[in-house]
Each structure stands twice: as C-alpha cells, then as structure tokens.
Amino acid sequence: MTDRHPPAPGVPAPAWTGRTAVVTGAAAGIGGGVADLLVELGATVVGLDRDAAALDAAVARHAGAPGRLVPMTVDVADPAALDDAARRVRDEHGGLDAVVCAAGVQRYGTVDETDPATYAEVMGVNVGGAFHTCRTMIPLVRANGGGAVVVVSSAQAYATQRGVAAYTASKTALLGLARAMAVDHAADGIRVNSVSPGSVDTPMLRWAAGLFAGDRPADEVVAEWGRAHALGRVATPREVAEVVEFLLGDRASFVTGADVKVDGGLSARLAAALPEETS
C-alpha cells in the first residue's frame, strides 16, 4: 500500500502507515476516537457506521491526515450487510491488520420492563454486531498473516446500575466472546482483547444524561456521574482509544484474552462513603 502522505526525508513514518483496520461505530463516540487516532497514526481505517452523514463529517475532518478514513454505511445488527462489507474490504483493501468492535446502544429497563424488541435491539447491536463483525473480518486478518482484535465492553460487565438489564447482559457477554476468540484464533496469529470503559463523554452518554437531567443541564448530570469515578470525571473517547491502540499494536504482542478496565477507578471504589466524603 502506498502512503498517501509520505513523511519528509529523515522523518519516521507514522506507526500505522501501510496498515488497514476495520472499526465499527466509527462515526462518533469511542469508535470515532479509535478511528481518529489510527488515521492520525497513518492507518487506512474502514469505518463502519449506520450514520452516513456522521461518517462523511469524519472523513472531512481527516483531510490531510497521514492516514485516511474509508466510510461504509453498515448496520452491524445486519449479518448480511457485514458479509457484504467484508467482501468490499477484501476486494478494495486486501487483508486486514486490525478489527475494533465499538458499535453499541444503551437502553434502560429491568427484565420485566424490557420488551422483546428492545432486548433484541440491544443484543443484536452489542453482541451480534461484534460477533458477526469478527465472523466476517477475522478471515481477512488470518489471510494477512495475523493481527489483533479489540472488543469494547463496559465497566457494567463487572458491576451494574439499576435498570440496565439488557445492556449489562450484552456487555458481560462481550467479555466471554473476546476470551473465546482469543483462544480460538491464537494459532492464527490473532490476538483478541477487550476494554471496559467507565463513563465516557460520547453522544450516547449525553443522550442518557438528557433522560435523567430533568430541569438541569446535561453537563451537570455528566459531571455528577464523573464524580463516581476515583479520578472525579468522565473519560474522553481519546483516552479509551489510546488503550485500544496499544492493544492493537506491537507493544502488546504477548497480550491476548485480557480485559483492560479504562474506568477511572470506578470499579475500584466502594459505594459506601466515609463521613467526611458525604459532609
């Protein structure tokens, strides 16, 4: 593959020059943060998302970058659409070096409040989207001699809020899926890991904050949620993307089957507060 923006003489090429990655949910949020970082590092990123307009805006944002974002409007809940996307990736880009499954939806409800259609949506996007993305794209990584996969789970795979039964179930399932793929594809030279973020300042988090804000600004709710983390704030998509890029890259060459909590200490902190913390 020819570098579209070759470095000046004597300047090393960006770390991902000549490499190709598929990122789902690439138009915004954590997937957008991962796509942005990989493009900055010289990769060709095939960005899958169902929001065509947001994908086009992301492409424009990367004008002049060392790498490039190639948009594909795909609903990851549609296995046939992912079959078509994989054929396009193979025909237009050859093999793959990396796959990141970041597409996801959040829905609220206990099991008795969650109707079958909502349950099917959450599991179809969050679990089915990752499963079928890997089903279709891992053969392209294998054909390329190996590479890496990262699945985006959630801190709610470890501990849960009230009223997120389907979401928590889906994110917990992703940890098992990543472990299974790590074992199944180690002999193919493919490493598979997951990350479990806490609250991240994404459009999905802002949407959730709006549901609970009432008369308050959404920023106030986001800040309140941030205070539940030991670091006292929510993460940026870029902070999660940095960990994802590490797991995809050569520095993590002996890391597979692992989950990395990128949660600002959320899962380390007990809910019970000392008296001085509540005064």
108 part of the active site: no
The reply to whether 216 falls in a domain is no
In a domain, 129, yes or no: yes
pLDDT of residue 2: 37
CA atoms within 13 A on the CB side of 100: 34
Residue 272 placed within a domain: no
- pTM here? 0.92
Residue with the bigger pLDDT between 221 and 37: it is 37
Q: Please state which of the ranges 44-48, 175-179, 198-202, 253-257 shows the lowest mean pLDDT.
A: 198-202
Average per-residue pLDDT in the chain? 93
- Whether 127 maps to a domain, the answer reads yes
pLDDT digit string, tens, across residues 159-211: 999 999 999 999 999 999 999 999 999 999 999 999 999 999 998 888 888 88
Residue 8 predicted with pLDDT over 60: no
In a domain, 225, yes or no: no
Q: Which residue has the higher pLDDT, 132 or 204?
A: 132
Query: Which structure tokens are listed for 91?
Result: 């025909």
Residue 15 domain-assigned?
no
> For residue 205, what pLDDT is reported?
87
Query: Is residue 218 situated within a structural domain?
Result: no
Q: For residues 129-137, give the mean pLDDT.
A: 98
Total domains in the chain come to: 1
Q: For residue 172, tell me if it sits in a domain.
A: yes
Q: Which domain holds residue 87?
A: 20-196
CATH number for position 146? 3.40.50.720
Pick the residue with more confidence: 150 or 12? 150
Banded pLDDT at 273 (limits 50, 70, 90)? low
Average pLDDT over residues 104-124: 97
Over residues 49-73, the mean pLDDT reads 95
